[in-house]
Amino acid sequence: MKPCAFEYLSPQSVEEALELLDRYGDQAKILAGGQSLVPMMNFRLARPEILIDINGIKELEYIKTEDDELVIGALTRERDIEQSPLVVEKWPILSKAISFIGHSTIRNRGTIGGSLVHADPSAEIPTALCALNGKVKVVGPSGDKILEPEEFFLTYLTTSLEPSDLLVQVRIPALPQKTGWSFTELSRRSGDFAIVAVGILLFTETAGVCREARISMGGVAPTPVRAEEAEALLAGQKITEKLIAEAAQQAAEETDTEPDYHASAEYRMEMARVFVKRGLQEAWNMVNGGQ
Amino acid sequence: MTDSRRIMVKVNGVDYERWVEPRRLLVDFLRADLELIGTHIGCEHGICGSCTVLFNGRAVRSCLMFAVQADGADILTVEGLADAAQLHPLQEAFREKHGLQCGFCTPGMLMTAYEFLNENPDPSETEVRKNMSGVLCRCTGYKQVVDSVMEAAQQMRHK
């Protein structure tokens, strides 16, 4: 199908985009990479009266560090982040997570900001952001805001962004030197949406002991979720296979799954257990290998 | 009805200037306005990959972009692959290894493989399978597609 008619605006700066958002707010949709919005427009599930195309705002496309934090502009293409030597070296979990998004042709257009504001609960970037304790920077009429994932993701496809707000930046803290990580997901076919996606980070200081664990799960709740009780089971503990199995079971119990077209609630929960277990093993072997 | 916009775009080395309605998809612009019907429309929602073209050097789905967004862009479609009567090595390889039957998906296969081999001239079969998984083919079962891309990679390395 073809999209409904719309008015097309193409601001060249953040300031100009904010003015347009302030004027049109609810009537307008922002077009970034368009890999979710344009299919919805083609199906006429989305019928914005006004489309604000931000692809001309070059100031929103960058990957850099500031005080050891990774700072990425909202319009940065997923493929650029996936292939960035800086990201691959220092935040490899993010590059790996992105490699699961659709196909290379989707990642060539799709943007980090677009994926976050779309807020699909099974999407990879939101799941990775939660594991990494990342934050998003939002600008709008009420000034700048820096939001944590739990403040930003409200429920299925819904964020706390106001109609006149623009997500402009993603900030991700540095990872400690001794970090084990894993990003795995289950999907029926290459490039499909994840039935379950799991991002794991394990930090250690003393051999054999996990200082801090982070378990982020996508596709198993209305937003990506951290398995906080499972993380608590691992923190400060000597890691054994038995403990990993217990933590994976606990993580599965912290899901809030619903059945849908792709999988039953029970299946998702069980797969969360399996993938958390595998992810913990992989991450632990990475950081504790040979010790 | 919204106002048309004037765009300037280079496609396969030729400059075009056209007026387009904002909702005009890039794939419809290429096919209907420029009459470059080598690029195919399959699913129209970014699943099948048939409409893949190179947009400023990157393989993208032209059903997920609007023609207005191509203002100032440099586009390569399947029509731009061959050098006059001389087929591109990818096209030769698809012919040689039976990488197509009905041919509907072939423009998308070729343009996807074109970008992939530019970035990765010596891929493993697994890498080819992963990268080409974004283009659906209902005829070949993919075996010959993978063989074709592997063959093209080899031919292009030896040029």
Select from 3.40.50.970, 1.10.150.120, 1.20.120.640, 1.10.420.10 the CATH code of B89-157.
1.10.150.120
- Asked if residue A2 belongs to a domain, the reply is no
Contacts 24+ apart (CB under 8 A), A267-270: A267/A195, A268/A195, A268/A196, A268/A219, A268/A220, A269/A220
* A42/B69 Cβ within 8 A: no
Point out the domain boundary residue: A172, A205, A229. A172
pLDDT at B159: 77
Does residue A19 share a domain with residue A36? Answer: yes
- Tens of pLDDT, residues B63-105: 999 999 999 999 999 999 999 889 999 999 999 999 999 999 9
pLDDT at A291: 47
Handedness of CA B97, B39, A61, A126 (dihedral sign): negative
Domain borders along chain B are 5-80, 89-157
Does residue A256 share a domain with residue A166? Answer: no
Identity of the amino acid at A248: A
Tell me the β-bridge partners of A71: A64, A171
Could you give the ipTM of this predicted complex?
0.96
Return the CATH class of domain B5-80.
alpha beta
pLDDT at A250: 98
- Tens of pLDDT, residues A230-264: 999 999 999 999 999 999 999 999 999 999 888 99
| Pairwise CA distance, residues A92 & A182, whole Å | 9
Does residue A86 share a domain with residue A149? Answer: yes
* B44/A5 Cβ within 8 A: no
Instruction: Return the residue of A nearest to B56 by Cα.
Output: A108
CATH number of the structural domain spanning residue A79? 3.30.465.10
* A55/B69 Cβ within 8 A: yes
- Tens of pLDDT, residues A62-98: 999 999 999 999 999 999 999 999 999 999 999 999 9
Point out the domain boundary residue: A154, A172, A190. A172
Does residue A21 share a domain with residue A98? Answer: no
Closest-CA distance, A245 to chain B, in angstroms, reads 31
Does residue A196 share a domain with residue A121? Answer: no
Residue ranges making up the domain that contains A239: 179-288
B1, B55, B61 member nearest A5 (Cβ): B1
- Asked if residue A1 belongs to a domain, the reply is no
> Measured between beta carbons, which residues in chain A are less than 8 angstroms from residue B22?
5-8, 51
Closest-CA distance, B2 to chain A, in angstroms, reads 6
- Asked if residue A129 belongs to a domain, the reply is yes
Residues of A with CB under 8 A from a CB of B: 1-8, 10, 34-35, 38-39, 42-43, 51, 53, 55, 79, 102-106, 108-109, 189-191
Q: What is the DSSP letter of A291?
A: -
Does residue A185 share a domain with residue A268? Answer: yes
Instruction: Return the residue of B nearest to A55 by Cα.
Output: B69
- Asked if residue A235 belongs to a domain, the reply is yes
pTM above 0.95, yes or no: yes
| Pairwise CA distance, residues A261 & A280, whole Å | 28
Does residue A71 share a domain with residue A49? Answer: no
| Pairwise CA distance, residues A229 & A289, whole Å | 25
Does residue A186 share a domain with residue A165? Answer: no
When the pLDDT of each residue in chain B is averaged and rounded to a whole number, the result is: 97
B66, B69, B134 member nearest A105 (Cβ): B134
